Structure 1
Amino acid sequence: MPLLSPDDGYLTVFNLFRTKTEQGQDRLLDAMRDIIDHADYPGWISSTLHAGRDERGTANVIQWRSLEDLQARYAGEGFKHHTVPLFNELATSIRLLQTEVVASQLHPDLEQVEFSTRRDDYTVIIVFDVDPQNQKDLVDTLAQPEEWVRTRPGHRSHTILRGLDGTTVVNYAQWESKEAYDAFHRLPEEDRPVSVRQGREHARSLITARDANTYTVVHDRSAAG
């Protein structure tokens, strides 16, 4: 089962695709399922496929043993001449983010962040763009432990990942339901603790752009299974 943990040392790749139609999303999901089911690459650990909810699109979260293993996959003829043209045909926008897990905060009843079809999470993936000189500050701010967030109704986990190129930070969050997440997301600032408000304000001062979507995990496969 795929796990997100800073202790694993894996490279975590977010392949985030958008499309304009439900049919386009279905075609992306079918293509990615086929790739995942036939994955047999040196250093490949797992792939977890997500279907977009708020906006049409997909997220394939892939774990690799190392950056060198991923680069070998990208250099392959099949990837360059089949996979890339296929995705360019099916998607209206593509982001390929290479990241590493920095920290996770979990509900007190959870011991690890599992992201697979074994669970029923309402998943939120937020990509923050940031200037390289501010990335560490943003990572430290978002990864700051905060008991109030961990114990919000419906919160299950959120994991902060650092983009290896220095220009992004990703928040991968799991919630019990859309209603629970919306209640948290739309909570007025004055109803949040002072420390939380200060952290959010500081993070906003560092971010140059924000891109978010919500998802359901629809398929996963690991090298061991």
Structure 2
Amino acid sequence: MPILSPEDKHLTVLNLFTTDKPENQDRLITEMRKIVDTAAFEGWLSSTVHAGQESPGTANFIQWRSGEDLEARYAGEEFKHRTLPVFGEITTSIRLLQNEIVYTQRHPSQGSVTEVSADRDDFTVIEVFKTTEENQAPLVEALSEGQKWLVDVPGYRSHTVFRGLRARFLEGAFAVVYSQWESKEAHDAYRTRPEADMPETRRNSEATLKSLATERDWNSYRVVHSRKAGE
């Protein structure tokens, strides 16, 4: 199963798709599984398909050896003339985000590594933060060391912070948080907690994020399929 670690130095790609109907989400997952199960691209390490929960859509979490390997994939005829057109037909938005992992944190109950797997029961949330070039570094810091208090939130399992490197179909600087929760109920309780009831550390953290992010959006997911190179 894929491991999320800043030490690995992989290029991590998050391909985020939204759609307007549950049946289109099912079709997206089918198309993604076809690609994942036959993947043999130079430099490809793993792919993990996620099914949208809060709203219809999918996420494909992909690890690559390098940006050059990924660009070779993008330059291929199959990607340009089949993959993108098929996804374009059944999606309402596409974002192909290239990132580096800069920080991981886990609740002590989650062991020594952050794992991504369909064998786990994580309720996963992916949140994208847009920002300015000059504010990207402080935003990443605020999402990383600035959120150590999350270990005290009921139901929290882990969060991993990505610094955006480049993207297709998203302009400007960005950062991404990939978090794992015990359940939808635990995440809902965290996200809907009134500001007046928040601990001071969280209120301060939220104020910092509001000052640094120009936009933010999220969706929740369940991991449904994963494959690594050589399997």
Fold similarity call, TM over 0.5: yes
Tell me the alpha carbon deviations over residues 40-63 of structure 1, each in whole angstroms, 9 at most, x when there is no partner.
011111101000011000000101
Q: How does 1:143-154 map to 2 (within 5 A)?
A: 143-144=144-145, 146-154=147-155
Mapping of residues 201-220 of structure 1, within 5 Å: 201-220=207-226
Asked if 1:2 corresponds to 2:8, the answer is: no
SS in 1 for 2:7: coil
> Does the aligned pair in 1 maintain the 2:13–2:98 contact within 8 Å?
yes
Structure 2 match to 1:185: 191
Q: Which residue of 1 aligns with 2:156?
A: 155
What is the SS of the residue equivalent to 2:8? Answer: coil
CA distance in 1, matches of 2:29, 2:165: 26
State the partner residue of 2:121.
120
Write out per-residue CA displacement over residues 124-149 of structure 1, whole angstroms, 9 at most, x where no aligned residue. Answer: 00001111111001001110154431
Matched residue, 2:169:
none
Alignment correspondent of 1:130: 131
Supply the distance in 1 between the matched residues of 2:187 and 2:230 (Cα, whole angstroms): 33
Question: Structure 1: 5+ residue runs without aligned partners?
Answer: none
Deviation at 1:187, TM superposition (A): 1.7
For residues 122 and 20 of structure 2, what CA distance do their matches in structure 1 show?
A: 24
- Judge conservation of contact 2:45–2:62 (CA < 8 Å) in 1: yes
Identical residues among aligned pairs (%): 54
Report the AA paired with residue 85 of structure 2.
P
Superposed displacement of residue 2, structure 1: 0.6
- The runs of 5 or more residues in structure 2 that have no matched partner are 167-171
- In the alignment, the residues of structure 1 paired with residue 230 and residue 7 of structure 2 have an alpha-carbon distance, to the nearest angstrom, of 19
Given residue 63 of structure 1, which amino acid in structure 2 is its aligned partner? Answer: Q
Indicate the residue corresponding to 1:69 in structure 2. 69
- Equivalent-residue separation in structure 1 for 2:130 and 2:85 (angstroms): 26
RMSD, matched Cα: 1.2
Q: Deviations over 1:15-44 (max 9, x none)?
A: 100111111111101000000000001111
Q: TM-score if structure 2 supplies the norm length?
A: 0.94
Task: Tell me which amino acid in the other structure corresponds to 1:132.
Answer: E
Contact persistence 2:149–2:201 (CA under 8 A): no
